[in-house]
């Protein structure tokens, strides 16, 4: 009964509804990257290009947002434009979902918010840029992203370029380990660090083949082990930024955020924007390259999961 009530908040776009009917694989995409992660108009253009990439590879993109008191699973071009150009978009994580839905406000979903909505819609693969995590100096601020708790409880595979390098990546991985969230990597042994390819920390398991990734994920969930799986893949080498440069700029941007009294969920958008300014836009090009690469990896995983389930049904 509760599940049925939750599903009543969902509105599927016509392309997503058609894909569901045809049992074509779906790939969830977040909307915070559009509303709060990139400037206009690059944000809308990138969102459309990522959706086109997913379709070209054989799946249907399902960008998720809150519009008019509904959870929209799949957005029209006009809705993408609205999210990307409006300055009245709420950043929506788990705690914010009821408030924004009840008020009928415009909301862009974070990693945690998108995972919840994707799970309600029955979508198993979600592509983002980088996951949130334990912020630097969290021992003083207790600033830990809700993304990590969501990964511990919501059964969606999250494909990302690791965790944003503005975070304490070592503590982020420790937190995930404590809560039993497997961290997979493909294309390299180590966990990625968003703008840079290598965080210096090893992932739990390396699986390069989408079929092997799908087998791992299906096994986890078949065993009744609820919760997400992180699949890390590095930004393409040609677009990666030097780790020394990013570390220095991150320290500068964090100091500026502290001086300006910026806290909580406003920190990450501020840091991304500041790093973009300090790199004269190079970090934005890196961000765009990594989200497109993540979409390729995530779509291949979605196709492999669909093939795995089809094989199980036929058996």
Catalytic residue IDs: 30, 164
Q: Which of 289, 294, 288 is nearest to 128 (CA)?
A: 294
Helices marked H in the chain: 2-7, 14-22, 32-35, 42-56, 77-85, 97-103, 111-120, 138-141, 146-153, 169-178, 210-222, 243-259, 267-278, 282-314
Q: What are phi and psi of 190, to 5 degrees?
A: -90, 155
Which residues, including other chains, have CB under 8 Å from residue 26's CB and lie 6 or more apart? Answer: 16, 19, 20, 59, 60, 61, 62, 121, 123, 125, 302
Strands 70-73 and 60-67: antiparallel
DSSP string computed for 99-119:
HHHHHT--EEE-HHHHHHHHH
Q: Is 205 left (phi over 0), alpha (psi -120 to 50) or beta?
A: beta
């Amino acid at each position: 009964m509760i599940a049925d009530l939750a599903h009543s908040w969902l509105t599927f776009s016509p392309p997503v509804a058609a894909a569901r009917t045809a049992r074509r694989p779906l790939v969830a995409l977040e909307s915070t990257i559009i509303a709060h992660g990139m400037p206009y108009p690059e944000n809308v253009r990138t969102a459309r290009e990522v959706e086109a990439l997913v379709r070209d590879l054989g799946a249907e993109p399902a960008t998720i947002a809150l519009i008019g008191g509904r959870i929209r699973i799949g957005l029209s071009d006009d809705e993408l434009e609205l999210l990307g150009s409006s300055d009245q978009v709420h950043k929506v994580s788990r705690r914010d979902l009821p408030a924004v839905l009840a008020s009928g406000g415009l909301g862009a979903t974070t990693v945690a918010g998108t995972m919840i909505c994707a799970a309600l819609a029955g979508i198993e693969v979600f592509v983002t840029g980088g996951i949130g995590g334990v912020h630097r100096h969290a021992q003083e601020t207790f600033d830990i992203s809700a993304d990590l708790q969501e990964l511990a409880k919501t059964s969606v595979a999250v494909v990302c370029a690791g965790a944003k390098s503005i975070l304490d990546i070592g503590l982020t991985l420790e937190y995930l380990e404590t809560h039993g969230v497997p961290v997979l990597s493909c294309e390299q042994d180590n966990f990625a660090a968003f703008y840079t390819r290598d965080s210096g920390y090893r992932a739990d398991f390396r699986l390069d083949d989408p079929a092997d990734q799908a087998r791992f994920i299906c096994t986890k969930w078949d065993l009744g082990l609820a919760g997400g799986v992180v699949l890390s893949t590095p930004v393409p080498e040609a677009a990666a930024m030097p780790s020394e440069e990013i570390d220095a700029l991150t320290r500068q941007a964090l100091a500026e955020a502290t001086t300006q009294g910026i806290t909580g969920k406003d920190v990450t958008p501020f840091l991304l924007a500041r790093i973009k300014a300090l790199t004269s836009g190079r970090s934005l090009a890196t961000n765009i390259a990594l989200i497109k690469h993540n979409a390729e990896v995530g779509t291949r995983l979605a196709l492999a999961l669909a093939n795995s389930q089809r094989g199980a049904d036929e058996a």
